[in-house]
Every structure is written in C-alpha cells, then in structure tokens.
A and B are shown apart, each in its own frame.
With several copies, the nearest count.
Chain A
C-alpha cells in the first residue's frame, strides 16, 4: 500500500534537466493519486541559473504546491545539496549525485542517499541522462510510483518529439538508477 502523501524537490543548475524530472514524476503520479501538484522555480530570464521544482502527491487536496521543508530532495549540484540539507524535514532523505557532490552532510536526523549518477550516465554514453539515473534511484527508494509507470511517463515525454531518439537511453537510465537504489 502506498502512503497518502509524498513531496519531493528536485534542484540543480539550469540545463541539467531538473524541471524535466519533476514533470515526468508528476505525470507518472497522475494515475495513482487523486491530487498532484508541480511547481518549478527558476529564473525565466536567465539561463543556467539555479532551478528547482517540487512535486507533491496526495489523496487529499493539496493546500499549497510549495514547501520549504520537503521530506525528500534530489540534488544535482553542491550548492543545492547544502541548501536542501538545511531545508529537509527531520527524517527526510536527500538524494545526491555523488559524482559531482563531495559534501557528506552534517545532519544526523536525515538520510543522505548517494547515487553515482553522472558516472552511471557517462557509462551509459551520455552525461545528459544523469538526471534520469537520479530519478530512477529516487523512485527505487521511495516507491511513490511503480517504476513501470515512470517509464511510461518518460515515453510520453519523448515520443513524437525531436528528441525521440533519446527515449531508450532515458528509459535505460531510469531503470539503472532504480536498480542502484534497490540494490542495498
């Protein structure tokens, strides 16, 4: 059985694909939860700046799509790690790409989940899918939606677009990430 409420914030530098992660996750959650919200925060007028997005799944109406202290965070750059290590709810989990984030964290009341996302992505042949590796890992651990649903959302995202050729690679990255999380 799924619990009734999930919240996660993805954070990283523009161009790294964190907003995409949120959109795909939200899409996947739509089938399973009565209420889903997605909120991206970035500088529309500046490329390459910090961006983050929050996805909430709930069976009750979502009062606000914003949360300052999420239970889960997926971070792709060192600054985001520092920020979300601070902001995370006690008992929360922070997922980080440990290929690029060396900090290990100070808090004892949260779990830091290390994913060698960039390494894995390079291994898969394209650094650009590091985000998908992280997403797969996140879902593997938190299990808010089944990985199959996530893959279908990935398919929906890429199919029929200019970037359809990247679909399989992205799905593979999700699966590999998922495995990384399930392993331990």
Chain B
C-alpha cells in the first residue's frame, strides 16, 4: 500500500536533479519533455508505490519545490 506521495512544484523547481539523487527508493526521475520555468527538464514522481514518505527529497531540494505527504491510517 502506498505510504507516501510527493508533489513537485513546477513553478519553483529548477531542475537540479538533486531529488533524483537523494531519493533512497528511486521514486524520482528526470522527465524527457516537461520543462521548468527556466527551461530545464522537470523531475517526475515515477514510483509512488515505493515512496516511504521519508521526506528526504523535500528536505534536500534547494528550492523548496517538493511537498511530501504521508498516508496515515486513521484507525491506528
């Protein structure tokens, strides 16, 4: 079951690819056709199932361009 979700804010992302580098689960990848504001290639959230909502990509994004959400079981 999916534990996390990230949202990449394409208006602030600068396409540095650090999130790709830091995600321990390989959930992020640079796209081939989506562009950032300044014309660089945008990252994409490609493996939602693997995401553990660890927050690493968000913390390490220099441009505050990633929001990380965790799915929490209400009953727990």
Which A residues have a C-beta under 8 Å from some C-beta of B? 13, 15-16, 48, 127
Top 7 A-B pairs, shortest CB-CB distance? A48-B38, A13-B38, A13-B39, A15-B38, A16-B39, A15-B39, A127-B39
Chain B residues near A48: list those with CB within 8 A: 38
A127 to B38, CA, bound (A): 13
- Interface residues on chain B, number (Cβ under 8 Å): 2
Chain B residues near A16: list those with CB within 8 A: 39
7 contacts between A and B (CB under 8 A): A13-B38, A13-B39, A15-B38, A15-B39, A16-B39, A48-B38, A127-B39
Q: Name the residue of chain B whose CB is nearest to the CB of A100.
A: B39
Q: Name the residue of chain B whose CB is nearest to the CB of A12.
A: B39
A16 to B39, CA, bound (A): 9
A127 to B36, CA, bound (A): 14
A48 to B38, CA, bound (A): 8
A13 to B40, CA, bound (A): 12
Chain B residues near A15: list those with CB within 8 A: 38-39
Shortest beta-carbon distance, A17 to chain B, in Å?
11
Chain B residues near A13: list those with CB within 8 A: 38-39
Interface residues of B in 1-32 (CB under 8 A from A): none
